Amino acid sequence: MLSRTRYRQVEHTADVKVEIYGRDLGELFSNACFCIFDVMLDSNRIRGQNSAPVSLESRELPELFMDWLRELLFHFSTRSFAVAGVAVADVDERHINATLFGEPFDLERHGLKVELKAPTYHQFSIEKSPDGYRATVVFDA
């Protein structure tokens, strides 16, 4: 299941809860990006014509992953940048260097299913298994 499914929404009372999967850290971070924009927008309609570099460093993997999620939402909420995809150049448990590909947000073309405001630490986890990684995140919506 981990190698085929990018993410799935999990039932939650008020906010948006997801499980994000990846065979390795690069795929986990890439699938997290896909998840955020697929949950919020019509991701099939986002073109990857512009790019934005992202470089983050943290003390440990859980902190880095949360910083990554916040960075993606920052690009959307403050820069109106809708992300179509990401190229992860380098990632380990303490840093990531990547390039986001997308375009300016257009409500008519991209729609807005739900606006994710921030990831929370409520029920947050990252687990590693022989199949890869699974992150569970609840977003304020």
State how many domains the chain has.
Answer: 1
Per-residue pLDDT reduced to its tens digit, 59-81:
999 999 999 999 999 999 999 99
pLDDT, one tens digit per residue, over 88-119 is: 999 999 999 999 999 999 999 999 999 999 99
Does any domain span residue 35? yes
**pTM of the entire structure?**
0.92
The CATH number of whichever domain residue 42 belongs to comes to 3.55.10.10
Q: Residue 1 domain-assigned?
A: no
> With 60 as the cut, is the pLDDT of residue 123 above it?
yes
- Count other C-beta atoms under 10 Å from residue 114's C-beta: 12
In a domain, 111, yes or no: yes
Could you list the residue range(s) of the whole structural domain that residue 28 is in? 7-140
Exposure of 34 in the CB half-sphere (CA atoms within 13 A): 19
* Alpha carbons 136 and 110: distance in angstroms, whole number: 26
